[in-house]
A and B are shown apart, each in its own frame.
Chain A
């Protein structure tokens, strides 16, 4: 079936069967590879994108359910004020190691800061729990979110 996707401010018409995860349409059809495949069962958060401004796991979001929604991926989140602050903080603190989970970490961090501009360490841990990082960059992720909060406040 043909589906119109509103992604990163543009409308794309894609051909996909119902039941196809949004993840694979983004990666294989639209060739936007910043959104990562990590587990396929919404257990690692590497595939996190924003749906109408809310972080969702694109591996468990089906294509027929997202027509008319505004989808934002890591490739466009830097245009957002919060996204830009998070990315700046990530570079300042060298949060990344292998980096494969970090698109998802950034997308979730933006979701958190949109809800809570000044999250506590506990609030960060609770919100970011579902974003796994096998390199264990977690304390820099925590510090990065706090730094982004500072940047936004300034």
Chain B
């Protein structure tokens, strides 16, 4: 038995029978390996004695594909087929499973799952391969350089055996500090469009278990009666009618007075009992404004001096340049509050473990926030809190809140019980639409000056809206010099070379609970930048593609070259300029989350009978495409998410209460809304970047540009359906 403990103190010998090879990273980031008896290592890959390989996925799966992508990376490096690798979600442990883009927090967001895991998972897979090869070389008495692993079979000359043969011996070896990563020329799975999702079958046959599907023995259901106006508090309630409902257990005011918890034997009883509950509220601290007041405040801010000079430009000089230009175009935009509305309403289940700890079952997007919130609520050391991650029925940002909102709600409902029964908190769709967290409302005012040759001489840009990050734990990291970068991302960091640009920002008062929403600030900044590029091109008498390329023409600037690259690929694939009679095209291109996406939307119809979206052609540059078909699916979905909301969705408030209630008045994109989406991926050797969000930002402005090209109608206040455009 070979045990090398020279480098790490913690490797211990494992019993040969039932040995497991675990390879991952230690808290300090170094690659480490261990056998089954070692508990101080949390792995990225586990190989059981029978040769079963499991990727331990540190990101949750909301449809965006890490449960396929991370196993693909491990399988590639070891030398497996995709059907030879399984996946498990990692436990909550920020020391080992941190998102490297988040610092010391485990979580999923910002389109970072593959980007931050890429090196880690390749190294873990490569280390496992080298350890198996070393064990085989020793067993066969051959040189390790002549040993290969292909489709799970270890080979050297005439020797051939499944990897299971070498798991026990490999688990006794020390992990190589710097395993050789495969060269892209050796890739068989990474970049292979035929690799299928690992979770397709169970999601098509009803076997997939989401948080909503958990049934623990003896569990009860809790629902929360929340106030109409956010911020109101409970002063009393009457449950006399609720007590008549069969299956009703109890009702109790939450310790923070934010609502009343209703406990029931089953979901239907909980729904009925909550409906029957009468609650009295104190609204003195609640939001009581109407959404038109919020809009008026934002529009007023756009006409005033901005609070923050984001890019430190000489604002007076830019204003003077625009004022003195031959042509000036000016537009003011308004973007409403939006709900995320993932298909699965929020839920989670809490139980007390035999040793007095707490086990949370949750589609955990940022488990670290919940973990520490629970340690505080339950007054337990963090190691007594466990979080088990289940599949998520969508999120679009909703499951990641800075205050772990629904998990904390469940915990507060649980602490009011004797903890003998597991508690499952369930939200309804009405809870989701009315009591959710929203993409903040934003306004932009832009003035662009052009000279006689059609060149931009000044771009005066003002943004006003509600900061997502201020007042949250993320403020210290994401707000600099008073500027919440998420309010101006996509403008402040645009690859476009725009001469004479000023960018001002004013934070307006928070109206209600705000949250990042698929692509965050880019949801509004891309719309403004890309519709203004079209208007500027038109004012300059130039083609919109040529005009954009003229602002991306620094060949030494990779950022500009990649953005220009997707633009060129999209117009080539879309047949730019060759739309059939009666159709028109619009283009938009935007960089977000490290990726570049250009989209051409083709529309037909007219304003009276309705616009029909015929086709969306997309080009994406996201570095190395790990799973090309998953990337295509994410761009298709990102397009649908962006277009669906600008077509007809908004959240409005009356006296602080959300007017919309459910899908009939917050209408999802439907199958007939977009006739076709075609995605093309730019070949690349760059490190992988995000794909979950970048498809969304260009979709809405490309649609707006197409509609304007077809009908002459411009939409600067969203949603489109309420501001001059109907859809067929």
Residues of A within 8 A of B (CB): 17, 20-21, 24, 27-29, 31-41, 43-44, 46, 73-75, 78, 86-87, 90-91, 94-103, 106, 121, 124-126, 128-129, 131-142
Query: Across the two chains, which residue of chain B brings its CB closest to A28?
Result: B266
Neighbouring B residues of A38 by C-beta, 8 Å: 343-345, 429
Quick check: A39 and B663 within 8 Å, CB to CB?
A: yes
Pairwise interchain contact A97-B266, C-beta atoms closer than 8 A: no
B639 contacts partner chain A, Cβ-Cβ < 8 Å = yes
Bound-state CA distance A126–B204 (Å) is 21
B residues bordering A, Cβ < 8 Å?
Answer: 61-65, 196-197, 199-210, 212-213, 215, 246, 266-268, 271, 341-345, 391-396, 428-430, 629-630, 633-634, 636-637, 639-641, 644, 662-664, 668-677
**B664 contact from A28, A43, A74, A97, Cβ within 8 A:** A43
Residues of A within 8 A of B342 (CB): 98, 100, 134
Cross-chain contact B345 with A37 (CB below 8 angstroms):
yes
Complex Cα gap A106–B393 (Å): 16
In the complex formed, the residue of B with least CB distance to A92 is: B196
Question: Is the Cβ of B641 less than 8 Å from the Cβ of A134?
Answer: yes
Interface contact A91-B196, CB-CB below 8 Å: yes
Contact in complex: A135, B206 (CB < 8 Å) = no
Given A28-B268, A43-B663, A91-B204: A139 and B676 within 8 A (CB)?
Answer: yes
Residues of chain B with a CB closer than 8 A to A44's CB: 343, 429, 663, 668
Q: With A97-B63, A134-B342, A135-B63 in contact, do A90 and B210 touch (Cβ < 8 Å)?
A: no
* Closest chain B residue to A27, Cβ basis: B267
Chain A residues with CB below 8 A from B197, complex form: 94, 96
Residue contact B206 to A73, C-beta cutoff 8 Å? yes
Residue of A99, A128, A131 ringed by the most chain B CB atoms within 10 A: A99
Chain B residue at minimal CB-CB distance from A142: B671
A residues near B633, Cβ cutoff 8 Å: 94, 97, 137, 140
The answer on a CB contact under 8 Å between A102 and B204 is yes
- Shortest beta-carbon contacts, A-B, top 10: A34-B206, A136-B640, A100-B393, A99-B203, A97-B63, A98-B63, A74-B206, A33-B213, A125-B672, A90-B204
B344 and A40: CB pair below 8 A?
no
Chain B residues within 8 Å of A75, by CB: 205-207
Within the assembled complex, what's the spacing in Å between the Cα atoms of A140 and B676? 10
- Asked whether, in the complex, the Cβ of B206 is within 8 Å of the Cβ of A103, the reply is yes
Question: Cα distance A24–B247 when bound, in Å?
Answer: 13
In the complex formed, the residue of B with least CB distance to A127 is B671
Is A96 touching B636 in the complex (CB atoms < 8 A)? no
Closest residue of B by beta carbon distance from A17: B246
Give which listed residue, B268, B343, B395, contacts A132 with CB less than 8 A: B343
In-complex Cβ contact of A87 among B205, B212, B428 (8 A): B205
Q: Which of B204, B430, B637, B671 is in CB contact (< 8 Å) with A131?
A: B671
- Contacts of B202 on A, CB cut-off 8 Å? 99
> Is chain B's binding surface mostly helix, strand, loop or mixed?
loop
Assembled-state Cα–Cα distance A44/B429 (Å): 10
Extra contacts besides A94-B197, A141-B671 (17): CB < 8 Å = A36-B393, A37-B212, A37-B267, A38-B429, A39-B663, A43-B662, A43-B664, A44-B663, A91-B201, A96-B200, A97-B65, A98-B62, A100-B343, A102-B203, A106-B205, A136-B637, A139-B676
Bound Cα distance from A78 to B640, whole angstroms: 29
Q: Which of A74, A124, A134 contacts B343 (CB 8 A)?
A: A134
Q: Compute the total of residue contacts between A and B using a CB distance below 8 Å.
A: 184
Q: Are A139 and B206 in contact (CB under 8 A)?
A: no
A136 adjacent to B636 (CB under 8 Å): yes
Given contacts A37-B267, A40-B428, A94 and B196 within 8 Å (CB-CB): yes
> Which single member of B61, B395, B641, B675 contacts A136 (CB below 8 Å)?
B641
Name the residue of chain B whose CB is nearest to the CB of A37: B212
B-side contacts of A99, CB under 8 Å:
63, 199, 202-204, 208, 391, 393
A39 near B674: Cβ-Cβ < 8 Å:
no
Rounded to whole angstroms, the CA-CA distance of A139 and B639 in the bound complex is 12
User: Which of A33, A41, A121 touches B429 (beta carbons < 8 Å)?
Assistant: A41
In the complex, chain A residues whose CB is within 8 Å of the CB of B210: 33, 36, 100
B205 in contact with A136 (CB, 8 Å) = no
In the complex, the answer to whether B204 meets A96 with C-beta atoms within 8 Å is yes
> In the bound complex, how far is the Cα of B61 from the Cα of A46, in angstroms?
19
* Contact between chains at B394 and A135 (CB < 8 Å): yes
Q: B343 contacts A133, CB within 8 Å?
A: yes
Known: A37-B212, A41-B662, A125-B671. Contact between A96 and B268, CB under 8 A? no
Bound CA–CA A141/B331 (angstroms): 39
Contact A134 B396 (CB under 8 A): yes
> Bound complex: CA of A96 vs CA of B37, how far in Å?
38
Report the Cα distance A82→B639, complex, angstroms.
31
On whether the beta carbons of A98 and B344 are closer than 8 Å, the reply is yes
With A24-B267, A140-B633 in contact, is A134–B215 under 8 Å at CB?
no
A101 CA to B215 CA in the complex, in Å?
20
Q: Which B residues touch A106, using CB under 8 A?
A: 204-205
Would you give 19 A-B contacts (Cβ < 8 Å), ordered by A? Answer: A21-B268, A27-B267, A38-B343, A40-B428, A43-B662, A74-B205, A78-B205, A95-B200, A99-B204, A100-B342, A101-B393, A102-B203, A129-B672, A132-B668, A132-B670, A134-B641, A136-B674, A138-B640, A140-B633
- The residue of chain A having its C-beta at the shortest distance from the C-beta of B221 within the complex is A28
The docked-state distance in angstroms from the alpha carbon of A153 to that of B75 is: 36
Point out the residues of chain A lying under 8 angstroms from B641, CB to CB. 134-136
* Distance between Cα atoms of A17 and B245 in the complex (Å): 10
Q: Given the interface contacts A131-B671, A134-B341, does A34 sit within 8 Å of B200 by beta carbon? A: no
In the complex, how many angstroms separate the beta carbon of B162 from the nearest chain A beta carbon?
26
Q: How far is the CB of B59 from chain A (nearest CB, A)?
A: 14
B196 surroundings in chain A (CB, below 8 A): 91, 94
Cβ of B201: which chain A residues have Cβ within 8 Å of it? 87, 91
Cα–Cα distance between A39 and B341 once the two chains are bound (Å): 10
A58, chain B: closest CB distance, angstroms: 12
- Known: A41-B663, A97-B63. Contact between A36 and B344, CB under 8 A? yes
Q: How far is the CB of A85 from chain B (nearest CB, A)?
A: 12
Nearest A-chain residue to B271, judged by Cβ: A40
Residues on B with C-beta less than 8 A from A95 are 200, 204
Given the known interface contacts A20-B268, A24-B267, A136-B669, the answer about A41 and B664 at a Cβ–Cβ threshold of 8 Å is yes
Bound complex: CA A39 to CA B670 (Å): 15
Please, how many angstroms separate the alpha-carbon atoms of A29 and B640 in the complex? 36
List chain A residues, Cβ under 8 A from B62. 98
Please name all residues of chain A whose beta carbon is closer than 8 Å to the beta carbon of B671 when the two chains form the complex: 124-125, 128-129, 131, 133, 138, 141-142
CB of A40 within 8 A of CB of B429, answer: yes
A140 touches B636 (CB 8 A): yes
- Shortest CB-to-CB span from A81 to chain B, Å, is 15
Q: Which residues of A contact B204 (CB under 8 A)?
A: 86-87, 90-91, 95-96, 99, 102-103, 106
> Shortest Cβ distance from B272 into chain A, in angstroms?
9
Q: Give the residue name and chain of the B residue nearest to A101 (CB).
A: B343
What A residues does B672 contact at CB under 8 A? 125-126, 129
* Contact in complex: B663, A100 (CB < 8 Å): no
Report A-chain residues with C-beta under 8 Å of the C-beta of B209: 33
- A144→B499 CA distance, assembly (Å): 49
- Residues of chain A within 8 A of B344, CB atoms compared: 36, 38, 98, 100
How far is A44 from B430 in the complex, measured between Cα atoms in Å?
A: 13
Q: With A and B bound together, what is the CA distance between A142 and B341 in angstroms? A: 23
A96 to chain B: which residues have CB within 8 Å? 63, 197, 199-200, 203-204
Residue of A with least CB distance to B430: A40
